[in-house]
Structure 1
Amino acid sequence: MKQRIFILTFLLVGLTNGLIAQSDTLKNNVFGGFIIFPIEFPIIDNQQINNELTGLGYPKCEYSAANIGIGLQLYANRWITTFSFNKTTKKDDNDTYLTEVEYRSTSLNVGYDLTKNHRYSIYPYVGFKGCGLNYMYREKISNETSFNNYFNTTLEYKEITNSRANLDLGFGFSYQWFFLVNFRTGYLLPLEEARWNINNNQDKLSGSPTLSYNYYFTLTIGLGNIASDNELRRHYNRNE
């Protein structure tokens, strides 16, 4: 709890300082937009689900460390708005079984740049982030078999899904011109309990182990452009 209070206080102080400095921004308006390709590194506490799966004789729920996505990052004065979607599946294909663990996240957040140079940004941000894991286990027949034998053989199949909505609090550092390089670190405060579901999230599994989406790191590259009023005026003056 103390850690959460510290993070909230830190972000609120940063946003307050940014709002105080907003009058400086209005003298030099900045606008820009980038198509972004974020690589997200989530930190998830999946020890309890892995202990349960191992005890039942199933492979662990191991998600991909790096997850690729796509999105938009928009600049209006010092306000930075970001939308992104990440989805990556980690497969473990063996002779007798196949497992697929899919990680997905959807983010929408708004930050405020604490610097006056629109080429560089240091900004706290707040927003929404939905995270989820999908675990699928499918048993396979290891040897060649006939059509009739395959359909007469009972193969085990299990699939469970977990998702949770979070308040997304973080800090970002970026450099932008006609390209964008951005690093973020974020902390997730749960807005609901994360439960394992079946049948396309229609039915909940009672007594299921917990799963905690704690925090994450994101490295983002993007293509687009950003410019200030001063730059545009200098450009037009040179052309006249």
Structure 2
Amino acid sequence: MRNTAVAATALLAALSLTACQSADDDAKKAGASAPATSAPAADTTGPTTDAKTPAADTAKQPTTGTKPTSAGKGKTGGGTGTDTGPVTTACTDANTKVTVTKVSRPINHLLLTVTNTGSKACNAYHAPLLRVDDGQAVTRIMDESKPQAVVTLSPGQSGYASILLSAADGSGENGRTAKTLGVLFAPRNGSGSIGSPHVLNFPANTYTDDSVAVSYWQTSMSDALMY
């Protein structure tokens, strides 16, 4: 009986050892055939240099098309005298000097000269508005003398207008010797006048009648004396 029990115990031990070895072999085989998973896990634990680069480059690149430019800044219209764009400032008594002189041709004419004495360009709009002596009505304007463009005077530059004093054929009425000439400037819209008048003395023995008229402002003396 004892021998039989010992033999049974030895058999169980051998079977147990064989089972353990078989399990170890299966585990080794499984481990050898299974793909490694540790490397991908390590790659996803933090940002890479390539991931940072686009963000850094974007931060350094300037944006385009949104930065304001100086074009159009500070510009105001309407002849306020504060604009820095196209000239809309009117010539007035405050920024000009006006003189009146005799001319030999055409006969019965005087030349009116306006000079810009200001620090910026001004426009001599339309025609000068003239009053002879204490006359209540503004002198007639020669419509045929209207230029194609407004006369713009830079600082120190002059413009011109001619004054017809009397009818050449003597047909004018209310002839008299005139003493003083009032010169006003027209605004941009041509309605009324702006500023105060320049008051000038006519050359001695200036004869006028009801035919007196004035041309539009011109850029040259020759253009003014055509009318």
- The answer, yes or no, to whether TM exceeds 0.5 is no
Write 1 or 2 for the structure with the bigger share of helix.
2
The structure with more radius of gyration: 2
TM range (shorter): under 0.3
Write 1 or 2 for the structure with the bigger share of strand.
1
TM-score, normalised by the number of residues in structure 1 = 0.24
TM-score, normalised by the number of residues in structure 2 = 0.25
